[in-house]
Homo-oligomer: A and B are copies of this chain.
Amino acid sequence: MEIPNLAELNLLHTQICQALGDPKRIQILYALNEQPLHVTALADALHTPQPTISRHLRVLRQRALVTSRREGATVVYELADYRIIEILDMMRHILRDSLARQSNILT
């Protein structure tokens, strides 16, 4: 494992943000915040085809946002770091406050 230089760190930082920039992946992260789930369970919960879920999970796994472990025939995915939910919630707060400000302006 090499120690990443600053440029590479910025790239990884960007890739994490990119990984969050898809509604399905945000849904997946919130679902995994409730409990670890295997692929089909996620596909059912989000009413989404299994290959689509699998591809999104690959992105999240490559960015180290989720971990996977095989349990018999299924593969269980789990949040790698639950602080990612705090981050998403903080964004929600910023968004909410931003909308509130706009409402005030128009009042």
Binding site for B on A (CB under 8 A): 1, 4, 9-18, 20-23, 26-27, 64, 80-81, 83-84, 86-88, 90-95, 97-99, 102-103, 106
How many copies of this chain does the complex contain?
Answer: 2
In the assembled complex, the Cα of A14 lies from the Cα of B91 at a distance in Å of 10
A14 contacts B10, CB within 8 Å? Answer: no
Q: Please, which residues of chain B bring their CB within 8 A of the CB of A93?
A: 83
A16 contacts B95, CB within 8 Å? Answer: yes
A21 contacts B23, CB within 8 Å? Answer: no
Least CB distance from A104 to B in Å reads 9
Give the 5 A-B CB pairs with smallest separation, nearest first. Answer: A18-B21, A17-B20, A17-B21, A64-B98, A21-B21
